[in-house]
Amino acid sequence: MEDGPRRSAGGGHPDPGGRSSHHVDLWGGTVSERDAARALAEAVGRLLRAQGKRVALAESCTGGLIGHLITNVPGSSDYFWGSAVTYAYEAKERVLGVRRETLAKYGAVSPETAREMAQGVRRLSGADVAVSVTGIAGPGGGSPGKPVGLVYLHLSAPDAEWGERHVWSFDREGNKWASAKAALRLLLRYLERATQ
């Protein structure tokens, strides 16, 4: 089992709230955001298909956006098991098997919960790799220790347990888009490693 890099902050993303210079689609992302996300989803799909692997997702703050992006790629049923959108504590416990003690001690937005979410959906699905996301999309819900825009990602596979931490500074929809793209990039890095 291998631990991948943990990131302390997000950055380098075009501001999804920069609506003056980009056309905005119905999902709230700009055209450039949508195109970048589509390219990531297509690259992930090509590698999953080439490696004969299936992916499963556990989404909280993104509300199914990562699954939406993956299923926009034709033929994604070949490699996509599905996405468990577990927004409430109860859903995380009942569907994914996140321990009540973990939620009580660390909260829903924590690396510990993200890890159990990813491991839980991988168990549930039998997928080769699973990715989870949990965070605070905003505009409310933040605290000094857990600001708005804080997101934890986790990738779980037989040979890897990778976690990432990001802090975005966009509006609610922008934070969701940034998180979805970060999750796809995390998955892409794992799959690219397998081809080396």
φ, ψ at 181 (rounded to 5°): -65, -40
Residue ranges in the chain modelled with pLDDT below 50? 1-3, 5-27
Number of Cα atoms under 13 Å in the Cβ half of residue 16: 25
pLDDT of residue 134: 99
The domain tally of the chain equals 1
pLDDT of residue 32: 80
Structural domain contains residue 45: yes
Structural domain contains residue 179: yes
Task: Name beta bridge partners: 151.
Answer: 135, 166
pLDDT of residue 194: 84
Domain assignment of residue 69, given as a range: 31-195
CA distances, 195 to each of 4, 47, 91 (Å): 17, 9, 35
Structural domain contains residue 74: yes
pLDDT in tens, 78-91: 999 999 999 999 99
191: helix, strand or coil? helix
Structural domain contains residue 84: yes
Structural domain contains residue 19: no
What DSSP letter does each residue of 68-105 carry, written as one string? Answer: HHHHTSTTGGGTEEEEEE--SHHHHHHHH---HHHHHH
pLDDT of residue 195: 80
188: number of Cβ within 10 Å:
17
Structural domain contains residue 146: yes
pLDDT of residue 22: 42
pLDDT of residue 5: 41
pLDDT of residue 30: 64
Task: Name beta bridge partners: 17.
Answer: none
CATH code: domain of residue 181:
3.90.950.20
Structural domain contains residue 10: no
pLDDT of residue 33: 75
| pTM of the entire predicted model | 0.86
Structural domain contains residue 169: yes
pLDDT of residue 31: 63
